[in-house]
Amino acid sequence: MNLHALLALAAPLLQDPENPATQAKPGGLFGGNFLVPMMLIIGIFYVVLILPERKKQKAREAMLGNLKKGDQVMTTSGLFGSVGQVQENIVTLVVADGVRLRFNRSAIQDVMTEKKEEAASSK
């Protein structure tokens, strides 16, 4: 046991009931002064950081799960192509006539829709 634990155990024995200076102070480490702000900080942290990240992850998993032949995609390396074949974890992209490249499904960053292509071309 460390010194602080021993002092905490011995504190009731060392207190003088006549002297208010030796009485234990209310609050302490797990009193209202510490627990409520920590719970608020954890709640804010969860709402600001964890929830949006989970939402992005679910949207990405749904996008990868819905890949089909003919989709225009962009890989994480920035290569554009259309999906030629989808196997379990391998996606074959057609990038030019007669040029087929195989990628892991997780290498697909985005499925390009017409709205995204129009926005990219208007810039």
- Both 55 and 74 in one domain: the answer is no
Q: Answer with the one of 63, 78, 97 that is the final residue of a domain.
A: 63
Does the pLDDT of residue 86 top 80, yes or no?
yes
- Answer with the one of 18, 39, 63 that is the final residue of a domain: 63
Work out the burial of residue 4: count CB atoms within 10 Å of its CB; fewer than 13 is exposed, 13-18 middle, 19 or more buried: exposed
Question: SS3 for 43?
Answer: helix
Q: How far apart are CA 17 and CA 20, in angstroms?
A: 7
Last residue of a domain, one of 47, 63, 79: 63
Q: What is the extent of the structural domain holding 11?
A: 3-63
- CA–CA distances in Å: residue 105 to residues 14, 75, 80, 91: 67, 9, 14, 6
Residue 60 CB: number of other CB atoms within 10 A? Answer: 14
Q: What pLDDT digit, counting tens, does each position of 39-72 carry? A: 899 999 999 999 999 999 999 999 999 999 999 9
Read off the pTM. 0.59
Above 70 in pLDDT, residue 115? Answer: no
**13 and 43 both lie in a single domain:** yes
Distance of alpha carbon 15 from the chain centroid: 49
